[in-house]
Amino acid sequence: MFNARVLDLRNRDEIKGEMKKVGSTGAGVKIMSRKADQRLIKLENVGIKEANIIKQEMLSAGGDAVTHKGTLDHSVGESDLILLGTIRQYEKLVSKLKIQPFTCKDIAAEVEEVLENYDKRGFVLKFPKKEIALDRTLVMGVLNVTPDSFSDGGKFFDADAAIDHGVEMAEQGADIIDLGGESTRPFSDPVSPEEELKRVRPVVEGLLQKVDVPISIDTRRPTVAREIVELGAQMVNDVSGLRDPEMVSTIADLNVPVVVMHMLGTPKTMQEKPEYKDVMGEIIGYLRNQIDNAVKGGIQRENIIVDPGIGFGKTVEHNLEILRRLGEMRSLGLPIFVGASRKSFIGKILDSEVADRLEGSLAALVSSVLNGANIVRVHDVEESVRAVKMAEAILTKRF
């Protein structure tokens, strides 16, 4: 009996697989998969002349473009565009734009770059002592050595307790341990670098004797990053997103992986009244700028990991949109890092206190994995490792 359905395919490999099932030739699959692989690309702040050229060339290639209504009569000076097309149509567009006037050549290069970035795979974290291929989602365990952390309320402020917990997380399957000596919860006050070092130094020294998983230092301060990495940590997690030029030069000198996070304001101010016109556009734009500055400052691009900053200057609605549209961050062509565990937006949705947010945290984690996260930062390591394994099996059909 005749049967019809809409195919819900995630990538070109899945498209090719379905075409092979139909019985197409290898050459046919190669050609047709590029025609079936649809992309929506948003271009922002494009000059009106270029906008009209792009729309015309996209139409001639068989695709389409959404522009501001004022582009036709030039009643606006610039327009955002949403391009609708297949990979094959974008190839035609790029070819045409390269020979057009104004800034069309630069726009063509940008379109080529985001398309290449979006499909990029094969990331590798190059730690000083080992390399880890990101052919699966890594689990990073949270270890806060603070008296005022939102998640554990100082439970591991004692160095011996913190070391024991770090060992436990490694035994439960954590791929990385993220050690922090300053709370960055909303409305928190900063501590001095001296106090931060006093908290984390003995824990690092103890963990290095007992675990072989890489240790990440969660800090905004270049002096802390340098001392703890030179002590034996192998990664830096900077919630301030490399805003400090000294941190850029420090990471360049240390040559270790660094997480660059988006945050609106500072921990003290970020949750006062967070507002965005386009939350994903602004996050990705900010991160792109920080990446460019980092590379110019000497940091190897392959050492950069990007984090949208769940809960850092975002409302509940912002956080949900980030998780749902996380795949857009693949446009940056770098590993994606997500830390949603136990965050307040989960508590608001489920009406639960911090200690009762496991199910919500795991739901956010699985969504992150399915939408492209390469590293997830979690408090409940054992449960999270199992949830990641299941999500990976759904995504790859491998187990």
How many degrees, rounded to 5, is the angle at CA 292 between CA 287 and CA 295? 120
How many degrees, rounded to 5, is the angle at CA 274 between CA 270 and CA 280? 105
Q: Which residues fall within 8 angstroms of residue 322, CB to CB, at 6 or more apart?
A: 279, 280, 283, 308, 310, 314
For residue 261, give the nearest of 200, 178, 197 by alpha carbon.
178
Written as six digits, the tokens of 302 are 């392959």
What are the CA-CA distances from residue 36 to residues 4, 14, 27, 30, 229 (Å)? 17, 11, 14, 10, 47
* Dihedral class, residue 314 (left if φ above 0, else alpha if ψ from -120 to 50, else beta): beta
Active site residues: 343, 377
Mapped onto helix, strand or coil, the DSSP state of residue 219 is: coil
For residue 360, give the nearest of 333, 385, 382, 378 by alpha carbon.
378
